[in-house]
């Protein structure tokens, strides 16, 4: 390869400089677009953080509501249990009264049968007395 003259060396160096300047401008443009995209992502990230905080707050509110609902359900469940106990006591009283009623009814039927038997005996005695008088 022939020796380059200083002018040729200068031109070659200027071409390299121009080529490097082009690469630099391309890199700067690429860097600028990356920075713009980064800023957009930071904005979206802030929006997502804000949305996340809103959701956390909603979850706390719903959690508090759920706790209140659970408390109310516990109170209702306790009332139901008390009413069931009261109902069981009343049912036992009704069953006891029913058994007593059956016993009393059976006793009264026996007494009625005894009285009917006595009445029949008295009628028989009266009829015999009437027949003896005739």
Q: How many CB atoms lie within 10 A of CB 85?
A: 10
Cβ contacts of 56 within 8 Å, gap of 6 or more: none
Task: Report yes or no: 4 and 12 within 8 Å, Cβ to Cβ.
Answer: yes
User: If you write DSSP's letter for every residue of 59-84 in order, what string do you get?
Assistant: HHHHHHHHHHHHHHHHHHHHHHHHHH
Q: How many residues does the chain have?
A: 134
**Phi, psi (degrees; rounded to nearest 5) at 4:** -85, 145
Residue 93 is predicted with a pLDDT of: 97
Residue 46 is predicted with a pLDDT of: 97
pLDDT digit of tens for each residue in the chain (134 aa)? Answer: 678 899 999 999 999 999 999 999 999 999 999 999 999 999 999 999 999 999 999 999 999 999 999 999 999 999 999 999 999 999 999 999 999 999 999 999 999 999 999 999 999 999 999 988 87
Enter the pTM of the model: 0.51
Residue 1 is predicted with a pLDDT of: 64
Q: How far is CA 77 from CA 74, 87, 103, 121, 128, in A?
A: 5, 15, 39, 65, 75
Residue 30: name the closest of 42, 38, 40, 18 by CA: 38
Q: What does the block give as tokens for 57?
A: 């707050």
Residue 2 is predicted with a pLDDT of: 74
Q: What does the block give as tokens for 62?
A: 């719903």
């Amino acid at each position: 390869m022939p020796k380059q003259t200083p002018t040729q060396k200068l031109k070659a160096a200027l071409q390299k400089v121009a080529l490097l300047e082009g690469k630099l401008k391309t890199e700067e443009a690429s860097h600028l677009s990356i920075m713009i995209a980064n800023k957009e992502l930071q904005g979206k990230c802030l929006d997502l953080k804000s949305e996340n905080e809103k959701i956390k707050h909603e979850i706390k509110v719903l959690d508090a509501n759920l706790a209140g609902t659970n408390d109310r359900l516990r109170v209702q469940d306790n009332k139901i249990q008390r009413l069931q106990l009261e109902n069981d006591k009343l049912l036992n009283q009704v069953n006891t009264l029913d058994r007593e009623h059956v016993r009393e009814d059976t006793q009264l039927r026996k007494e009625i049968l005894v009285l009917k038997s006595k009445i029949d005996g008295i009628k028989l005695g009266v009829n015999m007395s009437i027949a003896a008088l005739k």
